[in-house]
């Protein structure tokens, strides 16, 4: 909430823009509409990290996007979470080249050093 008192629709839009501009990343803070009280998990996103890898909120990989790599790409393409993955556009375009099937080849995903 801002300190402004919008009266009409245009003013409410202005307020929304201000709140959005100064806002925090909300993806994992947002509450689920479907089951209030539980955390809302965006599609293709997990909260838990096993060493070097992600699992879904049931503890397995079945609920992750297909293939599992897509989940990684969505982290930075969709969610703006660049720290989790190498820069796939400019500096490390081939970091997943040896990983044709993430379920089997996940050990072959390259480690990238900046």
Interface residues with other proteins (CB under 8 A)? 2-11, 13-15, 17-18, 21-22
Nearer to other proteins among residue 9 and residue 107 (C-beta): 9
Give the residue from 60, 56, 86 showing the smallest Cα distance to 71.
56
Instruction: Kindly name the residue from 71, 74, 87, 105 that is annotated as catalytic.
Output: 71
Rg (the chain; Cα; Å) = 18
Q: Are 56 and 64 in contact (CB under 8 A)?
A: yes
CB nearer to other proteins: give 13 or 98.
13
Residue 33 to residues 36, 42, 44, Cα–Cα distance (Å): 6, 12, 18
- CB-neighbour burial class of residue 88 (10 A; exposed 0-12, middle 13-18, buried 19+): middle
CB 110, min distance to other proteins, A: 39
* 24 noted as active-site residue: no
- The nearer residue to other proteins, 6 or 82, going by C-beta atoms, is 6
The least distance separating other proteins from the CB of residue 25, rounded to whole angstroms, comes to 19
Report the nearest approach of other proteins to the CB of residue 9 (Å). Answer: 5
**What amino acid positions are annotated as catalytic residues?**
71
């Amino acid at each position: 909430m801002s300190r402004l008192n919008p009266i009409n629709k245009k003013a409410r839009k202005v307020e929304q823009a201000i709140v959005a501009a100064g806002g925090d990343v909300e993806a994992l803070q947002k509450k689920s509409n479907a089951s209030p009280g539980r955390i809302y998990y965006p599609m293709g996103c997990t909260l838990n990290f096993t060493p070097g890898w992600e699992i879904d909120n049931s503890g397995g990989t079945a609920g992750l996007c297909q293939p599992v790599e897509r989940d990684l790409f969505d982290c930075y393409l969709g969610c703006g979470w660049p720290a989790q993955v190498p820069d796939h556009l400019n500096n490390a375009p081939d970091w997943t080249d040896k990983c044709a099937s993430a379920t089997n080849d996940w050990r072959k995903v390259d480690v990238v050093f900046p």
